[in-house]
Structure 1
């Protein structure tokens, strides 16, 4: 049985995240478990997530879930804007709640860091080459 869609296609925050994520080399989007997932060969970000609090699911509908560098993980967890998502959290993933006033430069950095951890050597080299020619 497929998961129901858990996002609004007209969400302006999703549109901003989508633009940032799909600007990365070979990035694509699919729906996974009812939520947008951004990937190359592996997923590097999800839009939306949930946590279980006192036995109840709490949705973080406008959020981005990424896989940060292990050295950054603890400092991000100390920031109240971040949460440890269900299922992915034990594997090092972290979520950031968003709204239209969020710092999308920060979101772009988080997406890029997660991309670098999952995209493979050739794609990361291409990203670096793109970055150096656009300076």
Structure 2
């Protein structure tokens, strides 16, 4: 399976959808919308699988703002077909303007970064931090 999430449309509006490209047993490919409540709209984020879970971190919003608070980290459990956050099952879209006092989320307030997994560990490297992001690409 190949999973595509977020990005921008042709007008530059951030997207919140997630699609999987699945191969059927007969060899045919099909795009399917990921189940559950999707993550907040974002682009220039990073995503990596650990087992059957897709971990999505950071990203930018329209106008160059970076994703804030708990919205900065989202997990799609492809085996269960649900989006998760640190509280468990996500039942409504996150508010991109929410503020959270947990300083660990400040680490994920970034865009244009890379992420990799080794075993069950996730590693994030580089990117741009700031509010708003000052690069020409995010604006």
The two structures have a TM-score, normalised by structure 2, of: 0.26
- Larger strand fraction of residues: 2
- Larger helix fraction of residues: 1
Higher RCO (Cα < 8 Å, 6 or more apart): 1
